[in-house]
A and B are shown apart, each in its own frame.
Chain A
Amino acid sequence: MAGRYAVQERFAPLGPEGQIRLAGSMAVVVGVGALGGHSAQLLARAGVGRLRLVDPDRPTLDNLHRQVLYDELDVAAQAPKVEAAAARLSAANSGIAVEPVAEALEADNAARLLDGASVVLDGLDNPAGRYVLNRACVSLGIPWVHAGLAGSSGQLLVVRPGKGPCLQCWAPEEPREPLKHSVATHGVLGPLPAVLGALQANEAIKLLAGAGDALLKGMLLVELWPPRFRELAWPGASAPCPACGSRF
């Protein structure tokens, strides 16, 4: 019988060496809703050795159309999402360690919650948390993969501290709620977080496998209704960044 990762290892840019790197890595998924559920599932199945899931919420019925790690029993049980998610992911891959943390990431606990991370995946649901996450990852020197969505569109960005622009290099001023284009006003098309969460997992796998050449370089804009994918190139800084202090 072929090994668990035989088909993934046959993908030449990863290979057995990439697989060993994944096994030796830790990914922290901050927010395990729709985006985080998809990305965490793909990283667990890919064999990322350690996963830490960070989310204080409990599943609700109106989560189920897009949050694939939860079912009606979880809604009835009202256990934290991270507990249900850890059980699902451990059942999918018993060879990895999954650590559930039912807390919200804040500026004053970020260093503890992100400790040991090789990469961080953004599964948050608001701008403020993402700016906290950006500052924390920049100061700790941890690469992170941003995605955000509403309606039928969203964006994707890979942040490598010290190597390229961070979230706040792109958008210096933190957007304050209420936003004009949000889940509250535009809902979420169910397949959208599947697309973006998969793209986040894909970038994380490249970061962990040391495949920097294959990474997304600019900001990927995704629209699904009708479909349109395109990448905005980074035009160069016009001022030093308030978060990372850089001028890429």
Chain B
Amino acid sequence: MAQDMEITVNGMMETVPRDSTLDSLIVLFEEEHPELIAELNGRFVHRQDYAATKVGPGDRVEFINAAFGG
């Protein structure tokens, strides 16, 4: 049974599994969409690196929508 940890997602405190990756959080928070920009502790993370990017206690994750209207 994985333990939980607290992190911040889009400015809100959230309790998530301790073994979370950016990829698993995207599934958990239903952020799988093509215009997603993901950020860990203020740093942009490449899409191909989501699965390998581990998230730890106290980390700050941001999910942002790139937009394509004009």
Residues in A lying within 8 Å of B, measured CB to CB: 31, 33-36, 122-127, 130, 147-151, 153-155, 170-173, 175-176, 179-183, 188, 193, 218-219, 221, 232-235, 237-239
A238 with B70: CB separation less than 8 A? no
In the complex, residue of chain A having the shortest beta-carbon distance to the beta carbon of B46:
A238
In the bound complex, residues from chain B placing their C-beta under 8 Å from that of A147 are: 70
Residue B35 lies at the interface, judged by CB distance under 8 Å to chain A: yes
Option from B33, B37, B39, B68 in Cβ contact (under 8 Å) with A150: B68
In the bound complex, residues from chain A placing their C-beta under 8 Å from that of B42 are: 232
B34 with A176: CB separation less than 8 A? yes
B39 with A36: CB separation less than 8 A? no
A233 with B47: CB separation less than 8 A? no
Q: In the complex, A179 Cα to B68 Cα: how many Å?
A: 9
In the bound complex, residues from chain A placing their C-beta under 8 Å from that of B65 are: 150, 153, 180-181
CB interface residues, B 36-70, toward A, < 8 Å: 37, 39, 42-49, 64-70
B5: min CB distance to chain A, Å: 24
Q: Give how many B residues have a beta carbon under 8 Å from the other chain's beta carbons.
A: 20
In the complex, residue of chain B having the shortest beta-carbon distance to the beta carbon of A130:
B68
Residues in B lying within 8 Å of A, measured CB to CB: 33-35, 37, 39, 42-49, 64-70
In the bound complex, residues from chain B placing their C-beta under 8 Å from that of A123 are: 70
B68 with A235: CB separation less than 8 A? no
In the bound complex, residues from chain B placing their C-beta under 8 Å from that of A232 are: 37, 39, 42-44
Given A180-B33, A180-B35, do A151 and B45 touch, yes or no (CB 8 Å)?
A: no
What are 24 A-B contacts with C-beta separation under 8 Å? A123-B70, A124-B68, A124-B70, A126-B68, A148-B68, A150-B65, A150-B67, A150-B68, A151-B67, A153-B67, A171-B66, A172-B48, A173-B34, A175-B66, A176-B34, A179-B34, A179-B35, A179-B67, A182-B68, A182-B69, A233-B43, A235-B43, A238-B46, A239-B48
In the bound complex, residues from chain A placing their C-beta under 8 Å from that of B49 are: 238
A127 with B48: CB separation less than 8 A? no
In the bound complex, residues from chain A placing their C-beta under 8 Å from that of B48 are: 172, 238-239
In the bound complex, residues from chain A placing their C-beta under 8 Å from that of B66 are: 148, 155, 171, 175, 181
Q: In the complex, A155 Cα to B33 Cα: how many Å?
A: 17
Given contacts A173-B47, A181-B66, 12 further A-B contacts (CB under 8 A): A122-B70, A125-B68, A127-B34, A127-B68, A149-B70, A153-B65, A172-B48, A176-B34, A218-B44, A232-B39, A238-B48, A239-B48
A233 with B44: CB separation less than 8 A? yes
Q: In the complex, A219 Cα to B48 Cα: how many Å?
A: 18
A227: min CB distance to chain B, Å: 14
B35 with A234: CB separation less than 8 A? no
Option from A150, A238, A239 in Cβ contact (under 8 Å) with B69: A150
In the bound complex, residues from chain A placing their C-beta under 8 Å from that of B46 are: 235, 237-239
